[in-house]
A = this chain, B = another copy of it.
């Protein structure tokens, strides 16, 4: 079969690349590092957007839209930000083309050079805080709770569909607050929302914690993150929420008069998740037959494949199945009835397995006689013959079960692949042989962090919020004292 996948065991990386292409999620474009998100992939992203957008709005956020282009000089206003961020980006230098006087085609018009170059936003803190300056005078103008759904661009040299692309889609929340406490609470609230979304919608358990200082967002005082574990034992950072302190307010001179009538700088947060979540979704659950989609994000919940030879048989199947489809749709189940006569049932079975459709029904002549349907689950690859009567309730229940099962499976996998380790040699060995998350003591210095990274390629994924204080812990690398374990892993 043309669409057969490389197995995960054989080559996990190749399996991922092939799966994204063959399941019609996305493909590379002729523009270096920029992807095309195909309709099937985009339909999943839209479901992610809808769920997240509701969570944002339920917590009082509003959407807005800020410019794509940022004046170059804005980037250097926040010192850490420009150091950590702004270098690899797309630079607009001209605003006009003209016909090539020497022949065909168009050339850049040298007379249309911009006085100041513009950068395609790699993230929008600078342009947004430059705007907030005009929106905020008094504590009465606060908080500002804005979110933006947008495209951003970072000129990555090595790209991979969804995981690392030059252009990607994301949302970026940017909030402004009167007090440090309120900004900290917002930062925490948003990482909790991301964790909820990851677990309840994508079905991926995540660790929540702080980034170490060296892994922090450029310009942030603290970065909270959620970290997920992929099937190859590598970690994937799935979302971040930054406490920016007063850094951007100071850089863009955003002051307000507080309740006591005194002037102060505004407190800030920013937080984002991106189409990278699509990569997490694919890598966490899918198998050698293709995608495994959690029902809550699946564009199609149930595919129905009629098995027939003659047109009359199809007509009889349709007659029986149409009211079932209508009832399923009424219950919010998205159904595809695939009666395409150009393809055989076997081909369709494989195709919908590849596409990760959670449930498949097959119905043939004998089923009609017996009043049954064959029902197959994508997540367990099991099938059973069930009564047609009351099938709608069975389907709704099964979709819930599949959502739960996918999460539980990922959670079990993570438990099996989380190791508490106290010995550096053992850590190095297990990192290579098994992978996964490692809970280890660390002395808290950037030097040790960097050395471990150089020697093992493992990084500190997070300092978990729920880390337990331990007396007498010693750093796995330096032997110096450590109060709590942090999470190491190789990461995407």
Contact = CB atoms under 8 A, between A and B. Distances in A.
A391 to B, nearest CB: 26
A36 B65 contact: yes
A462 B108 CA distance: 34
Nearest to A46: B63
Contact of A342 (B140, B155, B169): B140
Interface in A48-93: 62-73, 75-76, 82, 86-93
A44 to B, nearest CB: 11
- When all copies of this chain in the complex are counted, the total is 2
Contact of A34 (B37, B69, B146): B69
A328 interface: no
Instruction: Give the interface size class of chain A.
Output: 35 or more
Contacts of A314: none
Nearest to A100: B76
A96 interface: yes
A67 B36 contact: yes
Name the prevailing secondary structure of the A interface residues. mixed
A345 B352 CA distance: 60
B118 A90 contact: yes
A95 interface: yes
Given A42-B64, A67-B36, A29 B95 contact: no
Contacts of A68: 34, 120, 151, 153, 167
Interface of A: 27, 29-31, 34-39, 42-43, 46, 62-73, 75-76, 82, 86-98, 104-106, 108, 117-120, 127, 130-131, 134, 140, 146, 150-151, 153, 155, 167, 169, 342
21 contacts: A30-B127, A31-B70, A34-B69, A42-B64, A43-B63, A46-B63, A68-B120, A68-B167, A69-B90, A69-B167, A73-B105, A75-B97, A75-B106, A76-B106, A90-B95, A91-B94, A92-B92, A93-B93, A93-B94, A96-B155, A120-B120
3 closest Cβ pairs, A-B complex: A34-B67, A39-B62, A37-B65
